[in-house]
Structure 1
């Protein structure tokens, strides 16, 4: 059969036209898809700015479906789920990102950090710890260490918390000597006396300006029956941390009375009171004052310097009223009224408590409770 060259000549233009049409159709489809994805994305942003999170999530899901390889949309969607408290869905989004083989190293670390936050917010501390440990050596290492520190503090795993604090300090994240001293004090609360004393002395060396190790050590010495040593320990702390004298006023008074050091204790308390009048220091002075009349006059002296309902109530408790039969009712009402004024208040979150805390039970901040009562703030 003879080959007809005319078919080749006709076929080349036809093939070119068909190829051109196919490419135009592909480009058109690509433009449609590219227009749809940004449209859904910007619609989601608009909903997000207007605090319409449900509609924003729907828009982002649509954008992800149109372009499943867009990692930024996945991150936005996962963050939205976490903010709404839908932690399971946030975990699925970030785990899907981590399963992708084409994800860059930086985005993989970012997804790992986001996954750790999902577990942390959900209260899954063991899984959060595992996820955070994988961020060592990444750009998120500092944030991961801080999150691990919070986990170990919440779980009261003080040795692990101390290890993380050392890493943070070594990486230039700040000074954690005070916190590590607190960790040692916390361990001392459940340790045998000999080990507890060793831990407390180690804490005193680690944070020389901190009051807690010395106060706890004096309490340990008092329990052992050594009031004299306890008084000397508190005297040393009173000179190195004078702002904490209101906290140690009561144990200082008790140790002084048990060891016969009333005069020295009064000297310490008088000096502190002259610099900064305090209700707790006032109570220590009243308890140590040998003359009962002079002791009661201290309440009046305090009222001359500070308008204190607490001091007025204590002074009135020892006075005889004209209508004596009504005194118990008046005193009871005053005692009830001053109770909120004798609490301690966290400077970080405002949580109030009857006793002083070294770590706030509300916000977990350390050393956030001033040494003064609410009325004195």
Structure 2
């Protein structure tokens, strides 16, 4: 047991006095600092608290004019201008900071980074790139590299994006890097250089063996070179990578089987996919093949059975289309009317949606045009995506 001495009680009032003195010193320091700030600074804070950003900005601008030494206020104003889209004012604000000779080095680097972000926001990619290149060897090098990666993606300079991604393993995943190689391959295809494109696609698969896009593009090259069996094999590989993307290659598979005059084999494969991985796009392709091979009644039965299994408005529209092929003339007018009514609702449903930001588009994107995420779009349409359990 610890023994207690009475003389130790003397420490309690001493500690109290020291704490009171320290608090007084802090309060006096805060009071001196607050008196040194311009009155417009507090007006700006008041406007911000009352959700009046326009008046707050004007008050802060007045505060900067009264006391140009308020560096943090310069940074705050510049960020506000940039977020509001007033990039010219943001650029002037940060350039003024950079030109100050008395600005410490760390704050000057911060001002340069803010200026680079201003140029990036304004779409002046070359000027933004120039600034962040200067910052690559500074104490904020990683931040600069992240912005450079964003710039290279916007400029579609995939070779530079690949190079800098190697320095940012926590930012650019192997999935992203594989997509960069797919972009290079797509560019080589446009230039009619299939072998160079193949090399990029092979590298993409080495980076990410589940890169669906690499398999899809490899099949496209095989199809162009009339190597139909190889194309089908490339597209079939997608089932092991991510079967949800089979909906994207179903029309390609149909085209290849037709060119080989092997419709029955293609129908068997695609019907199997439809049973295991139901999709409206797969249904469309299988419907077309069944219509060719077995006639309109069989095609109607196919759509009806699929609608029972997966009830959707988009599926109902397909059913009405199928019924129109076999309906007698006296009922076609009513079916056309029903089809028109359903179509008014399905037009807004037949879209793809980004899982990351929710942006919807009529066409499928490998990279979301809104948030810039790679492979964030589900290849399913909005309605069937929402109904998936």
Contact 2:185–2:198 (8 Å) recurs in 1: no
Q: Compute the displacement of 1:208 (Å).
A: 1.0
Give the equivalent residue in structure 1 for 2:171: 173
For residues 316 and 363 of structure 1, the distance between their equivalents in structure 2, rounded to whole angstroms, comes to 41
**Distance (Å, rounded) in 2 between the aligned partners of 1:61 and 1:356:** 45
Residue of 315, 323, 331 corresponding to 2:330: 323
* Contact 1:321-1:327 at 8 Å conserved across structures: no
The offset of 1:336, in angstroms, is 4.1
8 Å contact kept, 2:366–2:374: yes
2:311 aligned with 1:304 = no
Offset at 1:312? 1.8
CA contact (8 A) 1:346 1:368 kept: yes
- State how 1:264-279 maps to structure 2 within 5 Å: 264-279=265-280
Task: Give the C-alpha shift of residue 352 in structure 1.
Answer: 3.8
Equivalences for residues 1-377 of structure 1 within 5 A:
35=35, 37-169=37-169, 172-175=170-173, 176-191=176-191, 192-262=193-263, 264-289=265-290, 290-292=293-295, 293-307=297-311, 308-321=315-328, 323-324=330-331, 326=333, 329-330=336-337, 333=340, 336-337=343-344, 338-377=346-385
State which drifts further: 339-348 or 298-307.
339-348
Contact 2:349–2:382 (8 Å) recurs in 1: yes
Cα contact 2:320–2:335 (8 A) shared by 1: no
Larger radius of gyration: 1
Q: Could you say if the C-alpha distance between residues 283 and 56 of structure 1 is closer, same or farther in structure 2, counting changes exceeding 3 Å? A: closer
Post-superposition offset of 1:253: 1.9
Q: CA deviation at 1:212?
A: 0.8
Shift in CA distance, 78/239, structure 1 to aligned 2, threshold 3 Å: closer
For the Cα contact (< 8 Å) 1:358–1:366, is it kept in 2? yes
Structure 2 segments unaligned to the other structure (5+ residues): 1-30
Contact 2:186 2:197 in 1 (8 A): no
Once the two structures are superposed, residues 314-343 of structure 1 have per-residue CA deviations (whole angstroms, 9 ceiling, x without a partner) of 322323146146268437626843444333
Structure 2 CA distance, aligned partners of 1:186 and 1:45?
52
Q: Which runs of 4+ in 1 moved over 6 A?
A: 31-34
Q: Secondary structure at the match of 1:168?
A: coil
Cα distance, 1:211 vs. partner? Answer: 0.9
In the alignment, is the contact (CA less than 8 A) between 1:75 and 1:94 conserved in 2? yes
Could you list the runs of 5+ residues in structure 1 that have no partner in the other structure? 1-30
Shift of 1:264: 5.0
Deviation at 1:33, TM superposition (A): 9.7
Output the CA distance in 2 between the equivalents of 1:32 and 1:281. 73
Could you say what secondary structure the match of 1:341 adopts? coil
Per the TM alignment, residue 115 of structure 1 is displaced from its structure 2 partner at its CA by 0.8
Between the aligned partners of 2:301 and 2:185, the Cα distance in structure 1 is 39
Change in CA separation of 1:317 and 1:210 when aligned onto 2, cut-off 3 Å: farther
Q: SS of the residue aligned with 1:167? A: coil
Q: TM-score, normalised by structure 1?
A: 0.80
Compute the displacement of 1:353 (Å): 3.6
TM-score by length of 2: 0.78
Question: Structure 1 residues 248 and 34 mapped into 2: Cα distance closer, same or farther (>3 Å)?
Answer: closer
Q: Distance in 2 between matches of 1:317 and 1:348?
A: 39
What is the aligned length?
A: 345
Change (3 A) 1:355 1:57: closer
Q: Is the 8 A contact 1:82 1:90 kept in 2?
A: yes
Please give the alpha-carbon distance, in whole angstroms, between the structure 1 residues aligned to 2:44 and 2:349. Answer: 50
Q: 1:116 offset after TM fit, Å?
A: 1.0
* Shift, 1:73, TM fit: 2.1
